Amino acid sequence: MKQNVAAVLLAGLCACSSATPGTGGPGGPDATVPTLTIDTPTRGTTVDGQSVTVTGHATGGSGLHVTVDHADVALAADGSFTSTVAVADGIDVLETHALDSAGHDVRDVRAVLAGALAPSDGTLAAPIGTHASRAVLATIANTVASDAQAIDYTAIAQTLNPVYNNGGCLGATVNITSVDLSDLGVTLDPQTNALATEVVISNVVVKLHASFKVACIGGSGTITVSATKAHITGNLGVDVRGGALATSLPSTQVTLDGFDLQVSGVPSQISGLVEGTVRSKIERALGSAIQSKVPSIANAKLAGLLANPVSTPVLGADTSLVITPTAATLSPTGLFIGVDTTVNVAGGGGGMFLTEATTSSEAMMDDSPNLGIAVANDLVNQLFAGLWAAGAFDKAVPLSQLGPVAALLDPAGTKLVLTLSLPPTAATDPNGKLQLALGDALVSVQDDAGTELQKFALSLQTGIELAGTPSGTLTMALDTPTVYAQVLSQVEDGALPLTGTQIEGIATGAWGLISGQASSALATLPLPSFAGIQLGSPTVTSASNYVVADVPLQ
């Protein structure tokens, strides 16, 4: 179905030439040029399925025959014809030719959007998956440790006071007065259904005040407990509750290395009495501090795996993306989070977009050594369709802004008006490569009064190379497109008719406008962001109807 660009452009020019009987051309001066009219599909047609019916009329010329999608079709006595054509998911370009024995070839080319279609009204969620590898979790653990070191351990420990309380003539009351430490580290080791978590606190020093009685004679003194390291371990759970990410640390175990108890002004009868209790209370105080504070710190850090919601004008249309986590799964390879994303574009509810995504899964990204992100093509297409329905892709551009392209157009023209009949659509081809297609972009050259001087339709198909930036946006680079061009009208004002070279230049200029807009729209799809963690530039590929990014953390 695809032809090289030059051949397509020239064929498009010939198909819409105004050759008439007696003017020469193939077949001699008396040859009759066939006429070709397509009734259905009209430009801008969407087909919820895998086939489309082409109907039309062809007349004139000896030996007249018609092909649709390169297959001969039967002509009725009145010149009408009907053909059912199989179409693939996405934007398909349909070519119809009326040919005669004199060598005339009148061509019509138009596009349809086919497949399983859904409305761009924000009601259908598009899946996104994020996978944090073991290396990513180690980086996140470092930021958890930084925040955990700032916990007020003294305040939490003092809630346990008195840590010892035994009256009588041989008794004591012991209260914690301060807790100090020099360093704190955190490890998050992914296991099946849990993050094995260890917090290591170095050089823990806990000071206590003791009020005591020995033989009913009162006194007071200090107790200092120190440990070279305190190990607090437990299994951090990560799941989704009420549409939000939630972490929990149900229990902890505490061990103290290099435990030492020093007393000042406390009789040995009392220090021996309280030593075991004080140690257990110190362990409980450290465990309580970690158990009460670390899950919320970890939750805030892991929330960075979810892209932030977006509410911003995109191509002049107010656009919001709502992100809702749906699943969290822990395995020895890392943490996978599934997300549903809805797109709402103001005024964008009237479009239809191709939906083809399956549920995102860890398997899409478990080979990623870094942060893996899988964005369904559905999200891209829903955004494009909403913007298209809102008219965000339509443009009126002064010819003076088009550079050399302006010289190729009617000299009386002052502006180029671009209207898209179908939304730009991304789809994965059979080779797993992401393609972007544009169907029947109508380009009108007009003068100051709005009179249309030239009009033609462009359909384009191209491969997409996506990349990312450390600021958390996607950028789009396009391969050389396959172009289908057709002149629809041209006033007879003495200006030279469009040539193949001119159409190619105009197509390039129009495509530049559209691709720039599409790339700007893609930049609104956010990547995750973490406080205190710098993202590197992602490597982006496509697979299984998803855009998959591998993002290094620095």
Concatenated DSSP letters of 116-175: SEEESSS-S-EEEEEEEEHHHHHHHHHHHHHHHTTS-HHHHHHTT--SEEE-SSEEEEEE
183 Ramachandran zone, left/alpha/beta (phi>0; psi -120 to 50): beta
63 SS3 class: coil
pLDDT given for residue 357 in this prediction: 67
pLDDT given for residue 495 in this prediction: 60
φ, ψ of residue 141 to 5 degrees: the values are -60, -35
19: pLDDT strictly greater than 60: no
Tokens 């080779």 sit on residue: 431
Q: What is the 3-state secondary structure (H, E, C) of 246-276?
A: EEECCCCEEEEECCEEEEECCCHHHHHHHHH
Residue 244 to residues 78, 238, 303, 338, 504, Cα–Cα distance (Å): 65, 11, 9, 11, 51
CA–CA separation, 334 and 371 (whole Å): 10
> pLDDT of 424-443, one tens digit each?
998 887 777 788 899 999 98
Residue 19 to residues 22, 27, 109, Cα–Cα distance (Å): 9, 12, 19
Q: Which two tokens stand for residue 50?
A: 């895998």
Is CATH 2.40.40.20 correct for 140-303?
no
72: pLDDT strictly greater than 50: yes
pLDDT given for residue 502 in this prediction: 67
> pLDDT of 105-146, one tens digit each?
999 999 999 999 999 999 999 988 889 999 999 999 999 999
Angle at 482 between CA 481 and CA 485, to 5 degrees: 115
> Is 124 within 8 Å of 382 (Cβ atoms)?
yes
Mean predicted confidence (pLDDT) in 390-419: 86
Of the listed ranges 32-36, 303-307, 356-360, the one predicted with least confidence: 356-360
Tokens 């993002």 sit on residue: 551
Sequence-distant (6+) residues with CB within 8 A of 431 are none
- Strand 334-345, strand 425-428: pairing: unpaired
CA–CA separation, 129 and 21 (whole Å): 62
pLDDT given for residue 383 in this prediction: 93
333: pLDDT strictly greater than 60: yes
> pLDDT of 142-160, one tens digit each?
999 999 999 999 999 999 9
Q: Which two tokens stand for residue 474?
A: 């996607």
pLDDT class of 478 with cuts at 50, 70, 90 = confident
CA–CA separation, 245 and 243 (whole Å): 7
> Is 128 within 8 Å of 373 (Cβ atoms)?
yes
pLDDT given for residue 304 in this prediction: 82
Which of 17-31, 124-138, 223-237, 304-318 reaches the highest mean pLDDT?
223-237
Q: Which two tokens stand for residue 102?
A: 């004199």
CA–CA separation, 394 and 392 (whole Å): 6
Q: Which two tokens stand for residue 46?
A: 């969407």
> Is 249 within 8 Å of 234 (Cβ atoms)?
yes
Angle at 410 between CA 105 and CA 503, to 5 degrees: 40
pLDDT class of 10 with cuts at 50, 70, 90 = very low
Mean predicted confidence (pLDDT) in 465-478: 68
pLDDT class of 18 with cuts at 50, 70, 90 = very low
pLDDT class of 473 with cuts at 50, 70, 90 = low
Residue 271 to residues 164, 274, 280, 411, Cα–Cα distance (Å): 11, 5, 14, 102
pLDDT class of 489 with cuts at 50, 70, 90 = confident
> pLDDT of 497-549, one tens digit each?
665 556 766 777 777 778 788 878 877 776 677 666 777 777 777 777 888 88
Handedness of CA 138, 140, 143, 149 (dihedral sign): negative
pLDDT given for residue 26 in this prediction: 43
- The CATH fold assigned to 5-118 is Immunoglobulin-like (2.60.40)
> Is 66 within 8 Å of 94 (Cβ atoms)?
no
Residue 201 to residues 14, 182, 418, 465, Cα–Cα distance (Å): 80, 8, 64, 47
Mean of per-residue pLDDT scores for the chain: 85
On the question of a cis peptide bond just before residue 190, with omega within 30 degrees of 0, the verdict is no
Query: From the CB of residue 181, how many other CB atoms can be counted at a distance below 10 Å?
Result: 18
Q: Which two tokens stand for residue 70?
A: 């390169």
Break the chain into its structural domains and give their ranges: 5-118, 140-303
Question: Residue 406: which of 416, 396, 393 has the closest Cα?
Answer: 416
Residue 281 to residues 84, 167, 174, 208, 388, Cα–Cα distance (Å): 81, 18, 11, 11, 65
Residue 286, H or E segment: helix 268-302
31: pLDDT strictly greater than 70: no
State percent of the chain over pLDDT 70.
89
Q: Which two tokens stand for residue 196?
A: 């094995």
On the question of a cis peptide bond just before residue 162, with omega within 30 degrees of 0, the verdict is yes
Residue 482 to residues 266, 384, 423, 501, 517, Cα–Cα distance (Å): 89, 20, 17, 15, 19
pLDDT given for residue 486 in this prediction: 86
pLDDT given for residue 4 in this prediction: 37
pLDDT given for residue 76 in this prediction: 95
Query: From the CB of residue 54, how many other CB atoms can be counted at a distance below 10 Å?
Result: 23
Residue 89 to residues 92, 120, 142, 426, 458, Cα–Cα distance (Å): 8, 17, 45, 10, 19
Q: Look up the pTM and report it.
A: 0.82
> Is 540 within 8 Å of 466 (Cβ atoms)?
yes
φ, ψ of residue 424 to 5 degrees: the values are -55, 140
